[in-house]
Amino acid sequence: MELHFDQELTQTKDMLMRMSSLAEQAVAAALKGLVQRDDDFAHRVLDGDTPLDILQKQIDERCVELVALRQPKARDLRFLIVLMKIAAELERVGDQAVNISHRTLALNREPQLKPFVDIPRMADLSCGMIHTVLDAFVYGKLDVAQRVIETDPEVDQLESQLDRELTSFMIEDPHTITRALNLIGVAHSLKRIGDHAVNIAEEVVYLYEGRDIRHQSANPQEDRKVG
């Protein structure tokens, strides 16, 4: 019975890893559509969002079924709860890829406003965070999960920098407003992907240590000051 349950847990984790791969591919395709100004990549993302939604539902159903039938306790119960939460975060990553693709289709209809420098850098960081945090989940690497959390301010800083630059464009030339707002939207989606990676990292800590570190600062000294 225990061996069979372990196999069911492994199968469910494999479903989550397939979901992670699809989410990463969606973000990568969305960015290619933007940087290469290729609508085909954007349409590919928009047409491919359904499998992520289906996988999330299947994972949720499998986890609920295992809880009901196997009545797991302690670590196994936490594992199933965390699986469902991570699946929800990955589905939202896919949603952000869809948002970027919608912005891309609008941007590709107009001349490029500025060279893409900060946005690809943000994409590298946020996508890297997703890939890294899933590795931390699979192998129980709490130090890696912590590094993902510590990377998030760098993504936030790039978004703020880009927001200031694009605001200047809009002030200096109102004809740039639509393009600038779409690029701000892309940057915000990339920031949200980083946020989802942080949420997963927090769940990894909860899974392996039973500690809830949500709503804590990345800098423990700041938390002590607040307290």
Q: Please report the pLDDT score of residue 71 as a whole number.
A: 85
Token readout for 47 is 């047409």
Q: Please report the pLDDT score of residue 217 as a whole number.
A: 52
Mean pLDDT per segment of 10 residues, for the chain of length 227 residues?
76 94 95 96 92 95 91 87 96 97 97 94 95 94 94 96 96 96 97 97 92 68 40
Q: By the 8 A CB rule, do 208 and 142 touch?
A: yes
Q: Please report the pLDDT score of residue 151 as a whole number.
A: 95
Q: By the 8 A CB rule, do 161 and 118 touch?
A: yes
Token readout for 120 is 């690809």
Can you give the pTM of this predicted structure?
0.90
Q: Please report the pLDDT score of residue 61 as a whole number.
A: 95
DSSP, res 214: T
Quote the CA–CA distance of 2 and 25 in Å, as a whole number.
35
Domains of the chain: 2-220 (1.20.58.220)
Nearest Cα to Cα of residue 101 among 175, 25, 160, 154: 25
End-to-end CA distance of the chain: 47
